[in-house]
Copies of this chain bind each other. A is one copy, B any other.
Amino acid sequence: MDFQTTLKVKQQIIDEALDKYLPKEPSPQNNIFEAMRYSVFAGGKRLRPILMLAACEFAGGETERVLPFACAIEMIHTYSLIHDDLPAMDNDDYRRGKLTNHKVFGEGIAILAGDGLLNYAYELMLQSILQHPSQSQNATAAMYEIARASGVYGMIGGQVVDLDSEKKQIDSITLDFIHNYKTGALFIAAIRSGAILAGTEPETLKHLTSYAENIGLGFQITDDILDIIGDEKKLGKKVGSDQENQKATYPAFHGLNHSFERVNDLFQKGLAAIEHYGEKAQFFMDMAHYLVKREY
């Protein structure tokens, strides 16, 4: 199977599992089920769950076993987008060409739909741990990896600093903090938790972590670059919004040329961390290309 087909198959597996796990039965509160589903199925690329699946398989684990955790990380990612889009935060009316959650369901329900997805992610992982008691230690460690990366020492920490930095002059250390925490932490946790769940060797975990750190940061700087030079049609969103919102970005600090060099450097380092695995690491090599050397 070529890379694009593999990617599609994995996306399909995730989408089916999300549909299976997310509540939908008729009930007094099904307003929130609808709101949660609306944003989960609003066109995400499923990068984090796909990386988790791949890391789990790489470390010898089973796809079936990792699915609740993979769906949980996608729910956490989605909740963070719903809350980020709120008027009190980024105040966005559209995401991926669709109305944002609060524009469809109102602010109150959007806040609760975010809360609901975050909490449900933990319910889902706990259910899975209780169903497989013999593997509970690895699974709990994987869950902790995800929880830590989602919280005030991870994604939420990055969102806070990002919010505090709006329309302010920030330094490049603060920019790195936002990059590493707001997006990087969950990206790295996706890969690490997949491998931990599979009971990985520490050496393998080290290599995968190094891959994740480099490609994760490369992915974000590429995002910043594409907001300047990207093609709106290929991207499916407006370019120039970072400059408009006076957001600090890597190119704004270090220039476009240096940004390209940095991305290339991160790409090479990411590959170097895993290339000695040869064919076994092919999907991660292709994924690095897909994430960093993209035009969309």
Query: What is A's interface to B at a CB cutoff of 8 Å?
Result: 23, 27-29, 31-33, 36, 79, 83, 86-89, 106-112, 114-116, 118-120, 122-123, 126-127, 129-130, 133, 136-137, 140-141, 143-144, 147-148, 150-153, 156-161, 163-164, 174, 177, 181
Contacts and interface: CB of A to CB of B under 8 A. Distances in A.
B122 A33 contact: no
Where chain A touches its partner, the secondary structure class is: helix
Contact of A32 (B28, B150, B152): B152
Nearest 9 CB-CB pairs, A to B? A88-B107, A119-B151, A29-B157, A126-B144, A32-B160, A88-B108, A29-B160, A116-B152, A123-B147
A36 B181 CA distance: 19
Counted per complex, copies of this chain come to: 2
Contacts of A111: 83, 86, 88-89, 111
Given A108-B163, A123-B147, A141-B130, A115 B28 contact: no
Contacts of A86: 108, 111
A296 to B, nearest CB: 29
Nearest to A148: B123
B147 A140 contact: no
